[in-house]
């Protein structure tokens, strides 16, 4: 590519020093652009890393679901205990009201 580009620049009647300078600048720009481009290997690596990250998130989510289910069971027991306690208290209050307030 270098000789073809150099021939084209010289056919445009540019001085050889200027042709070489332009060609050098073009090569530097292409080299810097090539460094910032993603290759297929980069994309495959990113895809694999994403799959690993997703698997870790799924594992964490499974652990969270197990914890939530455990907490749900505990909360259900507490609610049932509170309902039974409140029912017993209301029954006791009703018994007190019926037995002492009728007189």
pLDDT in single tens digits along all 103 residues of the chain: 466 766 676 677 777 778 778 878 888 777 776 677 778 888 999 999 999 999 999 999 999 999 999 999 999 999 999 999 999 999 999 999 998 887 6
Alpha carbon 75 to its chain's center: 31
User: Residue 63: what pLDDT?
Assistant: 93
Q: How many other C-beta atoms are found inside a 10 Å radius of the C-beta of residue 10?
A: 14
- Whole-model pTM: value is 0.44
Q: What is the CB neighbour count within 10 angstroms for residue 19?
A: 19
- pLDDT given for residue 3 in this prediction: 65
* Residue 2: per-residue pLDDT: 62
């Amino acid at each position: 590519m270098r000789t073809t580009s150099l021939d084209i620049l010289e056919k445009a009647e540019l001085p050889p020093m200027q042709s070489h300078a332009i060609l050098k600048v073009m090569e530097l720009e292409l080299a810097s652009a090539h460094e910032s481009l993603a290759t297929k290997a980069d994309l495959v690596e990113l895809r694999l890393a994403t799959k690993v990250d997703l698997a870790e998130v799924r594992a964490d989510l499974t652990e969270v679901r197990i914890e939530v289910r455990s907490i749900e069971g505990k909360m259900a027991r507490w609610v049932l205990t509170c309902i039974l306690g409140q029912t017993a208290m209301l029954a006791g209050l009703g018994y007190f009201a019926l037995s002492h307030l009728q007189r």
